[in-house]
């Protein structure tokens, strides 16, 4: 992967996003897209994800989440953050 095309995004998901397999879907979609980062449940019922890859890889993961059964994303807040060049996997925290 060309390092120049890498982006990293922190995304906060709100809606029906806990107890519905969100982290599992995110993990499997990230693996399929060859994206790295992590996903974590928050105490307020939201989910935070940091995802790194190309714009197309990130879009692939987000599409999987939006089309997943039971998950209902009502709102997202995202921002680009610094790339972690030595990151090698996607983790569920």
What is the pTM for the complete model shown? 0.94
Residues 8-35 have pLDDT tens digits of 999 999 999 999 999 999 999 999 999 9
Residues 38-61 have pLDDT tens digits of 999 999 999 999 999 999 999 999
Which stretch of DSSP H or E encloses residue 62?
helix 55-66
* Gap between the Cα atoms of 78 and 88, Å rounded: 22
Interacting residues of 44 by C-beta distance below 8 A, sequence separation 6+:
none
| Catalytic residue ranges | 23, 41
Q: Of 73, 75, 83, nearest to 2 (Cα)?
A: 83
- Beta-strand pair 72-81/7-16: antiparallel
């Amino acid at each position: 992967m060309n390092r120049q095309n890498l982006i990293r995004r922190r995304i906060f998901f709100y809606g029906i996003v806990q107890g519905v397999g969100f982290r599992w879907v995110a993990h499997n979609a990230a693996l399929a897209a060859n994206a790295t980062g992590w996903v974590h449940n928050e105490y307020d019922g939201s989910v935070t994800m940091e995802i790194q890859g190309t714009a197309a890889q990130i879009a692939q993961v987000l599409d999987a989440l939006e089309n997943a059964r039971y998950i209902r994303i009502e709102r997202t807040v995202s921002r680009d953050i610094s790339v972690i060049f030595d990151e090698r996997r996607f983790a569920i925290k």
